[in-house]
């Protein structure tokens, strides 16, 4: 592959990462409010507030899953373009995203077990999961982007990491 072709390929990757970052930012900003205003047919003993908080938690866990998937796709694309070479930072980034996925799936499974019920025990366990996700995000912040050679790629990845952090913080605030 010629140098010019490599530059064109890298420019395409960078443009894709920027677009993905903007799209994930828009998705994050448009989903900040609780989706459910009034819930009818609540399970016995479940309050309106619990149902709304449950819905907000589900929505933000979905954001975490979506952003993590987009981030993984971007990181792999950076690797294939040569902007994020194989090595410890790349491996750490992939492993950390895998851990975030596993934690998010566990939190989602917990919420599916108690539909529309965000009682104290559920809230406590979800908070524990969000703290674990926050710890993994801290790992991404300190180690994940160190190996990326492309400034636009670093910016895009940092933007997605910020979106992950914000979504986890929203759930912790419930």
168 in Cβ contact with 133 (< 8 Å): yes
pLDDT given for residue 28 in this prediction: 46
Of residues 83, 101, 63, the one with CA closest to residue 150: 83
Mean pLDDT on 7-32? 54
pTM, full prediction: 0.74
pLDDT given for residue 129 in this prediction: 96
Give me Rg for the CA atoms of the chain. 18
Show Cβ contacts of residue 49 under 8 Å, excluding neighbours closer than 6 positions. none
- Does residue 152 surpass a pLDDT of 60? yes
- Does residue 141 surpass a pLDDT of 70? yes
Is there a domain that residue 42 lies in? no
Is there a domain that residue 37 lies in? no
Range of the domain at 165: 3-32+47-172
Is there a domain that residue 147 lies in? yes
| The pair of three-digit structure tokens given for residue 120, joined into one six-digit string | 């104290």
Query: How many domains would you assign to the chain?
Result: 1
Is there a domain that residue 127 lies in? yes
CATH code of the domain covering residue 85: 1.20.120
At residue 125, the 3 state secondary structure works out as helix
Band of residue 9 on the pLDDT scale cut at 50, 70, 90: low
At residue 54, the 3 state secondary structure works out as helix
């Amino acid at each position: 592959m010629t140098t010019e072709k490599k530059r064109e390929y890298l420019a395409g990757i960078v443009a894709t990462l920027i677009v993905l970052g903007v799209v994930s930012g828009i998705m994050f900003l448009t989903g900040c409010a609780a989706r459910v205003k009034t819930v009818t047919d609540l399970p016995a003993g479940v309050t309106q507030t619990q149902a709304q908080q449950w819905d907000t938690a589900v929505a933000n866990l979905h954001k975490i899953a979506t952003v993590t998937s987009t981030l993984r796709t971007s990181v792999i694309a950076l690797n294939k373009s040569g902007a994020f070479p194989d090595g410890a930072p790349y491996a750490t980034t992939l492993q950390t995203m895998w851990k975030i996925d596993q934690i998010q799936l566990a939190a989602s499974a917990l919420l599916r077990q108690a539909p529309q019920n965000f009682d104290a025990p559920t809230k406590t366990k979800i908070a524990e999961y969000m703290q674990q996700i926050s710890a993994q995000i801290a790992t991404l912040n300190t180690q994940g982007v160190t190996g990326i050679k492309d400034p636009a790629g670093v910016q895009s990845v940092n933007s997605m990491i910020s979106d992950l952090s914000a979504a986890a913080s929203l759930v912790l605030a419930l």
